[in-house]
Amino acid sequence: MLDKKLLTILACPLCKGPLQYVPEQAELICRADALAFPIRDDIPVMLEGEARRLSLDETLPANRGTL
């Protein structure tokens, strides 16, 4: 579990935008860049080369069927 204070400080290293914490996948998500940064041993790995590209389904908002 990441420290809540740390989560408020962290930003995407590429766009400096907000990150979404997904504890089930141990990742920090940047929707703007469509990247998922891994968390290993409770340490965020904020390197572009270590990030996973989000699939199209992951980049769409959850309520994509509504107007």
Backbone angles phi, psi at 56, to 5 degrees: -60, -40
Residue 12 CA from chain centroid, whole number: 8
The CATH code of the domain that includes 31 is 2.20.25.10
pTM: 0.84
Number of domains in the chain: 1
Q: Is residue 65 in a domain?
A: no
Cβ neighbors of 28 (< 8 A, separation 6 or more) are: 10, 19, 20, 21, 22, 36, 37, 39, 44, 46
For 53, phi and psi rounded to 5 degrees? -70, 135
Per-residue pLDDT tens for 11-66?
A: 999 999 999 999 999 999 999 999 999 999 999 999 999 999 999 888 766 644 44
Domain that holds residue 55: 4-59
